[in-house]
Chain A
Amino acid sequence: MQGLTKTLANAPSLDDRAWRIRRNALRMGEVQGQGYIAQALGVADVLAVSYFHALNYRPEEPYWEDRDRFLLSIGHYAIALYAALIEAGIVPEAELETYGTDDSRLPMSGMASYTPGMEISGGSLGIGLGIAVGIGLGLKRKSSRSFVYNLMSDGELNEGPTWEAAMSAGHWGLDNLICLVDVNRMQADGPSTSVLNFEPLPAKWEAFGWHAQRVDGNDIATLVRAFDAARQLAEPKPRVVICDTKMAKGVPFLETRDKSHFLRVEQHEWALAIDALDAGRMS
């Protein structure tokens, strides 16, 4: 897919992709009148670079054996991943209208059995990285050259099993494992640093045997370089890209709103948010 994107003339840029991922997410939020939209807007650039620069996959064959595995540990970010899966052509755009409704393939929290392209059932926070370790070991058993990516939140750094998995990945030298940490500094009860301080992050991961990079997770060019470095690293180490992101990125009136884990958006504001996002795109 990576090659495909690059060789197609007039292919959408990564900026376009990120904009459309944000737009898809806002449209889902509008359908449901709720959703973890601030997280989705914040992580959209990471997902754009994942799905339209880094990941190897076939939209028409979501369980193609040689695909890179992308695990969404943070189940409540499902709205963001659906937005990316729609943009990637893995989920039809028409299904966007069903988000979070009865019998939809797009439930509020991501589950493997519901959605094509959703590799695991996340949501019980802190489980993704451990599963990624097992998948990394499994891929090596099969002599596969695929990568396994785990997208997790900074809140999941509070969870013990995250660090069991981090230690294990270092122990096994899992050079096919790339962990993406979305650091938006907001947890259910308030700012992450006041809930449970997890800094200094790169030093922690390095101490567990990882190659660590910390980047602006809303700067696409920087993300591209970080993903390339993570994939091309010769050292037999797992790789982490710590992405500092801004919640609600791309919609100025939401960016400046008092932040909380579950950002309230009034029903009439969803259309305004889409307009604001589009206006930002034009300028």
Chain B
Amino acid sequence: MSKRGPWRGGAALAQQPRAEDSGRPRLTTSAMIASLAAEGQRTSPAPFGRALVEAAKSRPEIVGMTADLSKYTDLHVFAKEYPERFYQMGMAEQLLMLAAAGLAHEGFVPFVTTYAVFASRRTYDFISQGIAEEGLNVKVCCALPGLTTGYGPSHQATEDIAIFRAMPDLTVVDPCDALDIEQATHAIAAHDGPVYMRLLRGNVPLVLDEYDYRFELGQAKLIRDGADVLVVSSGFMTMRALETAKLLAADRVDVAVLHVPTIKPLDEGAILREAGRGGRLVIVAENHSVIGGLGEAVAGTLLRAGVAPRRFGQVALPDAFLDAGALPTLHDRYGISAKAMAETIKRQL
């Protein structure tokens, strides 16, 4: 028998809805790449592709490369604008990373795209030994980070941050929204060295323009302050944290949000400064497994510095191969929707 236990699909499941899903309509599995935008939410199209086109205008050494996923990573926007600077490498991710290393050897700045699962699980050695060990200027930009597809574990990169955090000399970036992705693209283009960046593509939510925010590589930013809870978050979980803060405000719970879009190198100073302001519950929220991501990075930072918050908790994906299904269902089920996150925080207060 598989470790998942007996087969649990079909009629049996239909008759026994999961307790945590009670009252929720049964949704259709999300498209391979579904927009995370809620209905009516403001979005911006293809922020990575458009920013890369912009960055490439003054940087002729920038080239784009993909392993048969340009349309699914917004690199097609670059390919259309600069067909002579675009390399379709075929569905060969190992080669993709090595060829990027070769082009970087010759002074070019390759932006390579694929899905996060393939970059992290399939090509780790090629990024490590082909690119990072030599400090080559390659930017690995990957769609479908964490739980952003309903297609199941083959496409859900729930451990990519854990994998890439362990790679020496690699900068790891997890931007939040369209504005963050656009600014981060320019920032990593200007940075000399290998980078792994998580991408959202298509119609990407636009949130951070409402705040006094600007992406700076290596810097955490306090998006909003609050007296009761400090949420330290990366990626789209910062958007969820801001929604959660609004939900909890109705309960008179005051939530601060520290956005940490650069996972490595970690802005330990900002984290220690905010977590050190005593009396607050510290929650680290990430679109990633509880193992090896921002949560454990922050925990280690606090422990090493002797900073003990009132309580520490994680909002993160379980250490498990996750289900297939619709993203709203799955985000609720695994506790990374705003509603689920608000409940988690209230339980710990």
Contacts and interface: CB of A to CB of B under 8 A. Distances in A.
A141 B89 contact: no
Contacts of A69: 105
A127 B98 contact: yes
Interface stretch (B17-25, B129-137, B228-236, B293-301): B129-137
B97 to A, nearest CB: 8
Interface in A148-200: 148, 160-161, 164-165, 167-168, 171
B125 interface: yes
Contact of B100 (A134, A139, A142): A134
A171 B102 contact: no
Contacts of B157: none
A124 B134 contact: no
Nearest to A144: B106
B108 interface: yes
Given A113-B134, A120-B134, A161-B126, A167 B90 contact: yes
B87 interface: yes
Contacts of A120: 101, 105, 134
A121 B134 contact: yes
Contacts of B107: 138, 142
B92 A167 contact: yes
A133 B90 CA distance: 13
B102 A127 contact: no
Nearest to B84: A141
A161 B102 contact: no
Given A160-B94, A165-B98, A168-B92, A138 B103 contact: yes
B288 to A, nearest CB: 27
B102 A131 contact: yes
B297 to A, nearest CB: 27
- Residue in A127, A160, A165 whose Cβ sees the most chain B Cβ within 10 Å: A127
A161 B134 contact: no
Contact of B94 (A138, A142, A164, A171): A164
Contact of A168 (B95, B103, B128): B95
A121 B92 CA distance: 21
Contacts of B125: 124, 127
A137 interface: yes
Contacts of A134: 98-106, 110
Nearest to A126: B94
Contacts of A131: 98-99, 101-102, 105, 130
B126 A141 contact: no
A130 B129 contact: no
Nearest to A135: B102
Interface string A103-142: 0000000011100000111011001011111111111011
Interface residues of A, number: 31
Contact of A130 (B104, B126, B133, B134): B126
- Residue in B104, B128, B129 whose Cβ sees the most chain A Cβ within 10 Å: B129
A161 B101 contact: no
Given A112-B134, A124-B125, A168-B95, A119 B90 contact: no
A66 to B, nearest CB: 12
A127 B130 contact: yes
A166 to B, nearest CB: 9
A141 B97 CA distance: 18
B106 A123 contact: no
A141 B95 contact: no
Contacts of A142: 106-107
24 contacts: A120-B134, A121-B133, A124-B125, A130-B95, A130-B97, A131-B98, A131-B101, A133-B98, A133-B102, A134-B102, A135-B103, A135-B105, A137-B87, A137-B103, A138-B103, A138-B107, A141-B103, A141-B108, A160-B94, A161-B95, A161-B98, A164-B92, A165-B99, A171-B90
Interface of B: 63, 87, 89-90, 92, 94-95, 97-108, 110, 125-126, 128-130, 133-134
Given A133-B99, A133-B102, A135-B103, 19 more contacts: A113-B134, A119-B105, A120-B105, A124-B129, A130-B94, A130-B130, A134-B110, A136-B102, A138-B102, A141-B106, A142-B106, A142-B107, A148-B102, A164-B92, A165-B95, A165-B99, A168-B89, A168-B90, A168-B92
- Closest 8 A-B residue pairs measured CB to CB? A134-B102, A130-B98, A138-B106, A134-B99, A164-B95, A164-B92, A135-B102, A161-B94
